[in-house]
Amino acid sequence: MKLLSFIKDNRVRSGVLVNDEYIADLNTSCYLMLIEKGEDEQFVERYCNAIVPPDMLGVLQAGDLGLEFIKKILEWSKKRNDVLYNIKQVKLKAPLLRANMLRDFLAFKGHVEATYKRRGQSIPEEWFKIPIYYKGDPAIFYGHLEEVPWPKYSNHVDIELEIAAIIYKKGKDIDRRNAREYILGFTIFNDFSARDIQMAEMKGLLGPAKGKDFANGLGPWIVTKDELPDIKGLRVYAKVNDEVWCDTRAEDMQWSFEDMIAYVSQDEYIRSGDVFGSGTVSGCTGLDIGKSLKPNSSIELYVEKIGILKNIIVKNQ
């Protein structure tokens, strides 16, 4: 399944993609489906608001119960064109407008090698021992075709093509062998970066902070793990103003999402709505190839079996 968020009547709604062309509003479809079966109206309203609320974070918090019910909505809605919206006629938002927590890792060896090579250094041995990450702002996600604001305090903005795993269960001290059970699915993640600010912050041995906390791209939807079991080997590309910045495969991950979950959950809960960024796919950032964004650049990120996430970064005068 492909789970998403979209605008309807000036409000954000949670939805599921139907036949790759249409969207079913999860909350509304739930209501209509159960009313059609003769259920009590007040019960139906309370039930649907609990199990498939309008916000995607609430949907994820319903866990397996919500996921199984979405499958019923999907099958029901395929026979009810009158309740579907053409995807070309709605505005998509980030599938999660607000995450519970954002953790972004550094999993691809080629990107790490390129970073340290620029410094004249080799990869520190610590990187091979633990999956290192930072925590970002969980409430600044921009969806497919949305404009992203250029940070007024930066002159050097960059992209990072990543893949994100979305968590939908609460857990602690999770064994790596069971970690996959906590992943709902995957989406494209663009870790926008103000490089000049990021580098200054990290020289002080903390951060990144303002170098990252102005925008994240996420979308266009979450592909559930039954449709996308693994991200390794998927073709990816990044284009800026139709210029190819990278066209490669997600192959050299030192750390899997299962490794990340096992590490993070030591004496700490992971929760529904947590976003785990993979780190930059090797070569898929301007920093690795000597390029940077210009104001009003069009950015297109592609990940095989997920889709395309496209944004324009706009600098206000």
pLDDT above 90 as % of the chain: 93
Task: Tell me the average pLDDT of the chain.
Answer: 96
Domain 101-314 has CATH 3.90.850.10: yes
Read off the pLDDT of residues 72-106 as tens digits, 9 standing for 90 and up: 999 999 999 889 999 999 999 999 999 999 999 99
Q: What local confidence, expressed as pLDDT, does residue 118 receive?
A: 86
- Domain range summary for the chain, segments of one domain joined by +: 2-93, 101-314
Please state whether the predicted TM-score (pTM) of the whole model is above 0.85. Answer: yes
Take residue 265 and report the two structure tokens written for it: 């959950």
